[in-house]
Amino acid sequence: MRHSVVAGLGSALPKRRVTNDELAQSVDTSDKWIVERTGIRSRFIASDGETTGSLATEAARRALEHAGIDAGEIDLIVLATATPDQTFPSTATKVQAALGVNDCIAFDVHAVCTGFLYALSVADAMLRAGSANKALVIGAETFSRILDWEDRATCVLFGDGAGALVLSAEETEGGILSTKLHADGRHNDLLFVDGGPSTTGTVGKLRMKGREVFRHAVVNLAEVLNEVLESAGLTAADVDWVVPHQANARILDATAKKLGLPSEKMVVTVDSHANTSAASVPLAFDTAVKDGRIKRGDVVVLEAMGGGFTWGAAALRY
Ligand code: UT7
């Protein structure tokens, strides 16, 4: 049986780190409010010249290096983003060109903060079906470009960054064990951008009813985590690490409690990265692999929830 094995990981952050105190100089907020309500202490913000595509390319290069795989071996690139460099072509093809990969399948996937789970699931299915053998799965965002910097309820929550996984199809047990995806478009108006090429003709700004999103997030994430564990034939006791979407430390605590998982098993990077949407799961995954927490053979569960609503989870043996 072919399985998609995680051969390597990489991530990239913009150069500029912005603290809560720095934000409090331009919007009516405080380090105390942001830390207490979200757990966020700082975030990285892209400067001119740093784009979703450039961060994605840097993350992809690091993942290839970690995997010990040459870019020329990649035959599939799936890139999750809600903030592409341009309306078209896809940012995946920009990464492809930057890496010097001449011919492969390359496309973007858009499921906002759940984008990386959608991209991973699509790439896994294509690898298992034999459509490709080595894939780059990337989550990359520059949400700073779609924030309303006068809306304190949203502008303090997000950051920019990218994370990438190299998946390799192998005749082996392990790798990605199960993925589960969901969407419910009835909640479009709780988290959205008020622009787009086919409506206003502008890029638009992010709008969110935070408290309602929070309520749905805890319920949906606990449900999809139980669903993915059951489908992988695992229980919560088998899980070594959960790598959650990094939206709010309080959501992470509430989800862990609902599942009966000790909070030490949750990888938390929201304090230093804030919410980087589709980049947050691979960015946190790479951080925990590189600092030695997640080791080869560990059972790792990934989860995310975001605009749409969309939500999903994946269980894998690293
Ligand atoms: O990645 C997609 C998924 N997104 C999420 O998961 C986000 C989920 N939601 C959340 O994380 C939380 O709902 C927030 C962090 C966005 C907000 O926390 P909250 O505890 O739900 O606060 P709230 O929106 O109910 O606001 C409480 C108060 C309000 O003041 P009043 O009306 O009580 O006087 C806000 O105006 O806090 C005020 N407030 C702020 N105060 C200082 C809102 N933003 C700020 C701010 N600084 N930045």
pLDDT 10s digits, 101-147: 989 999 999 999 999 999 999 999 999 999 999 999 999 999 999 99
User: How far, in Å, from the CA of 148 to the mean position of ligand 1?
Assistant: 15
Answer yes or no: 102 catalytic. Answer: no
Residue 71 tokens read as 């870019």
**Band of residue 290 on the pLDDT scale cut at 50, 70, 90:** very high
Segment 238-253 shows an average pLDDT of: 96
Indicate if the pLDDT at residue 243 is higher than 90: yes
Q: What kind and span of H or E run contains 141? A: strand 134-142
Q: Where are the alpha helices (DSSP H) in 130-242?
A: 152-155, 210-231
Residues 103, 83, 155, CA angle at the centre, nearest 5°? 155
pLDDT digits (tens, 9 = 90+) for 255-273: 999 889 999 999 999 999 9
**Per-residue pLDDT, 259:** 87
Contacts of 118 (CB under 8 A, 6+ apart): 80, 109, 111, 181, 310, 312
Strands 76-80 and 134-142: parallel
In order of start, what are the domains of the chain with their CATH numbers? Answer: 2-172 (3.40.47.10), 176-317 (3.40.47.10)
Q: How many CB atoms lie within 10 A of CB 227?
A: 16
Mean pLDDT of the chain: 97
Q: Which of 3, 66, 110, 245 is catalytic?
A: 245
pLDDT digits (tens, 9 = 90+) for 182-208: 999 999 999 999 999 999 999 999 999
**Per-residue pLDDT, 42:** 98
**Per-residue pLDDT, 258:** 87
Segment 90-107 shows an average pLDDT of: 97
**Per-residue pLDDT, 273:** 98
In ligand 1, which atom is closest to the CA atom of 307?
2
Answer yes or no: 275 catalytic. Answer: yes
Residue 192 tokens read as 């959205």
What global pTM score does this model have?
0.98
Residues above pLDDT 90, as percent of the chain: 97
Q: Please report the sign of the dihedral spanned by the C-alpha atoms of residue 87, residue 89, residue 94, residue 96.
A: positive
Nearest CA to ligand 1 atom 4: 247
What is the identity of the amino acid at 182?
H
Answer yes or no: 155 catalytic. Answer: no
Nearest CA to ligand 1 atom 35: 153
Q: Is 296 helix (H, G, I), strand (E, B) or coil?
A: coil
Measured CA to CA, the distance from residue 66 to residue 242 in angstroms comes to 21
**Per-residue pLDDT, 274:** 98
Indicate if the pLDDT at residue 20 is higher than 90: yes
Q: Are 18 and 43 in contact (CB under 8 A)?
A: yes
Residue with token string 């913009």: 14
Q: Where are the alpha helices (DSSP H) in the chain?
A: 20-24, 31-38, 52-67, 91-99, 115-129, 152-155, 210-231, 249-259, 270-273, 280-290
DSSP code at position 71: G
Lowest average pLDDT, out of 200-214, 221-235, 248-262, 290-304, goes to 248-262
Measured CA to CA, the distance from residue 20 to residue 23 in angstroms comes to 5
